[in-house]
Structure 1
Amino acid sequence: MLLIVVCGCSVNKKNVSGLITLVNNETEKKVDVLIDKNLFTSYLYSDDISVLKKTTLYPIIAANGQTVTRGYPLNTRPNERTDHPHHIGAWFNFGDVNGLDFWGNSDEIKTPKEKLGTIRHEKIVALENGEQKASMDVQANWLKPDGSVLLKEETKFVFYAENGKRIIDRVTTLKAQSEMVSFNDTKEGMFAIRTARELEHPSDSPVNLSDENGHKTTVKVVNNTGVSGNYMSSEGIEGADVWGTRAKWMALSGTINKEDVTLVIMDGPQNMGYPTYWHARSYGLFSANPFGQKAFTDGKEASMNFSLKPNSSVTFTYRIEILNGNYSRERLESEYQKFVND
């Protein structure tokens, strides 16, 4: 049974940004998250999109109306990188779970199917609408190539709307089923966003970009038009140097259509491997990965190789903040403390 609740809690009207409504579109297999009837994001759970082998939040739109996620491969915009077709929206998975690659699974990638894992939505448990805050509880299965369930997933999403700010909390619990489940050391994971072209770092290397009609091209070019991204970590590291470092939060700022945006991922203090390592690339992959410490340190740290015994579980908590404007490190730390104390 799907539970839909409208929250009647009182709020400070001075700070209200809008009503958040969750709309389940069973035909298109998605839940739209609307703020004052404007799209914030959608939870995509279709099994029929060939490039999508997991659930994801796509697109994600800032309070100022700018889209912070890449369009490719679902809705390619002009002048976008067309690499890594498995990087779609904001998602949660991992590249080596009992030897199966859940991270790199896409029909556009020619990996043998027997080496790939798939995450499939099972059901929506509850939707709760409200002023400034709404939530969604969902269940999904991490499947082996033969279709049997390796892990059961329970996830709560909480969405917040404030003036100039959008927030997504994700709390995911993974439960092993009948066998031991090992998360083997790899850089490919775990809580990730593939960002809009404007939030990439400028590069002198030629890359394949989509044309003015959003079609893939085969000629590599150097074109940094509108590219303005810069990472900053909680530890004060900036730019591409943040890759493979630990931090409790990571921010990516840039300008999209003349609007400044800051995108932040925050690591919950109770998470395994806290503070997490960051698989944060200058080309727009922005990911927190608690299980890749050997890969990120070139072997200086030993592999964690975390395992779950049958019927045991582990929970991960993350926050995404999408902020209008540029934020200082001090202001971002203040935002992080709000997350920790919520």
Structure 2
Amino acid sequence: MKPSVFTVIVLLLSVNLAGASERPKVEFKTSVNERKLEVFIDGKFFTALIYPDDMEKPALYPILTASGKIITRGFPLDPRPFERADHPHHVGLWFNFGDVNGLDFWNNSFAVKPENESKYGSIRFKEILAENPQKGQLVTSSAWVDQEENILLNEETTFIFSGKENLRTIERISKLTAAMQVVFTENKEGLLGLRVDRAFEEPATKAANFLDANGTLTETPLLNNDGVNGVYRNAEGVQGDKVWGKRSPWVALRAEKEGEPITIVLLDHPGNENYPAWSHARGYGLFAMNNLAGRSVDRRAEPVKVVLKPGEWITFKHKVVIGGELTDAEIDKIADDFK
């Protein structure tokens, strides 16, 4: 007996409603005065796109797990006890590069001395172009400028936020269009960077600039490795600090924070230049994926150089996954779905 047209319609509506109910509810809340846009998933704060005037680039900060645990370092915006007080340009999740027409966009921050500022570039947030909460999609525009505010690159960035149960994901699609002839010269400082919470670091073995129990930097560095247990691994099975400088479609960082296992994964997209990317991941808490590193991290690599004439563009697509105890097989599946 064939189903009636009414029955077919009801079944299709049921499927669509079921799919809609499984899709996470994403909300965007903009604060123009605070120069930020907050992202909520199923009513829980996930992250915020921040673009204050006193920062040299936009960033996603802070970033939380589905259970509400912070995975990003607090310093320098909101220092927490026993954190490392280094690399003030490492804020949340960001995208930039260390050598564009000879300018360093990666290391620029308030700590740069005035006499050296001409060596650095900044990324100026311009506007939000589109919001689509139903798809978790946010589109923004920014400009990569020199110290005279001359534009080298116009950037259109698409963020796609999603999540379910104990999983959160961020896709970042970065389209860079040259406003003048632009040369990217291989450099270890790039491209997608994340500075993680102390729990995800490797235990410290020597003195460094740490904050004390009150969050104050003291003259005598304080080594406190309580709860510090981060371990890197990549798709090829390389672990620990050895992932640095290796090429891989994904790199994962696993730690336990307050008794909860948390895995952070950075994934490269097969359509990106020089896929798979080189890992710029360090035990002190920098977790980065770099498609333009080349010989700056591996002497055996082929030379890397990207030249864009005015009006030409290049696009990079990356994904960040924040979950629980993710196995290699589960990450491989996520990577396959990302192709």
| Identity within the alignment, % | 37
CA contact (8 A) 2:41 2:162 kept: no
Structure 1 gap segments, 5+ residues each: 1-8
SS at match of 2:295: helix
Aligned to 1:118: 122
1:147 aligns with 2:149: yes
Deviation, structure 1 residue 127: 1.1
AA aligned to 1:335 is I
CA contact (8 A) 1:66 1:259 kept: no
Deviation, structure 1 residue 12: 3.0
AA aligned to 1:85 is P
Aligned to 1:262: 263
**Could you state the TM-score of these two structures normalised by the residue count of structure 2?**
0.92
**1:211-230 Cα distance to aligned partner (Å, 9 max, x none):** 22222222223321110100
AA aligned to 2:116 is P
Deviation, structure 1 residue 10: 4.3
More helix by share: 2
Match of 1:79 among 62, 70, 82: 82
1:313–1:10: structure 2 CA closer, same or farther, 3 Å change rule? farther
SS at match of 1:112: helix
CA contact (8 A) 1:64 1:259 kept: no
Deviation, structure 1 residue 80: 0.5
CA contact (8 A) 1:15 1:163 kept: no
Deviation, structure 1 residue 11: 4.7
1:13–1:125: structure 2 CA closer, same or farther, 3 Å change rule? closer
CA contact (8 A) 2:99 2:185 kept: yes
Give the count of matched residue pairs: 323
Instruction: State the distance in 2 between where 1:11 and 1:28 align.
Output: 38
Aligned to 2:205: 204
**Could you state the TM-score of these two structures normalised by the residue count of structure 1?**
0.91
Deviation, structure 1 residue 305: 1.6
Aligned to 2:31: 25
Q: Which aligned pairs between 1:305-320 and structure 2 lie closer than 5 A?
A: 305-320=305-320
**1:107-135 Cα distance to aligned partner (Å, 9 max, x none):** 123371111100011110111113xx411
Instruction: State the distance in 1 between where 2:301 and 2:248 align.
Output: 16
SS at match of 1:151: strand
Larger Rg: 2
Q: Which aligned pairs between 1:227-306 and structure 2 lie closer than 5 A?
A: 227-297=228-298, 299-306=299-306
Instruction: State the distance in 2 between where 1:339 and 1:258 align.
Output: 30
Deviation, structure 1 residue 271: 0.3
Aligned to 2:19: 12
SS at match of 2:337: helix
Match of 2:93 among 81, 90, 94: 90
Instruction: State the distance in 2 between where 1:162 and 1:36 align.
Output: 9
CA contact (8 A) 1:21 1:33 kept: yes
Aligned to 1:334: 333
1:11–1:192: structure 2 CA closer, same or farther, 3 Å change rule? farther
Instruction: State the distance in 2 between where 1:266 and 1:217 align.
Output: 37
1:302–1:36: structure 2 CA closer, same or farther, 3 Å change rule? closer
CA contact (8 A) 2:48 2:61 kept: yes
SS at match of 2:338: helix
Structure 2 gap segments, 5+ residues each: 1-15
SS at match of 2:49: strand
AA aligned to 2:71 is V
AA aligned to 1:119 is I
Deviation, structure 1 residue 339: 1.8
Aligned to 1:321: 321
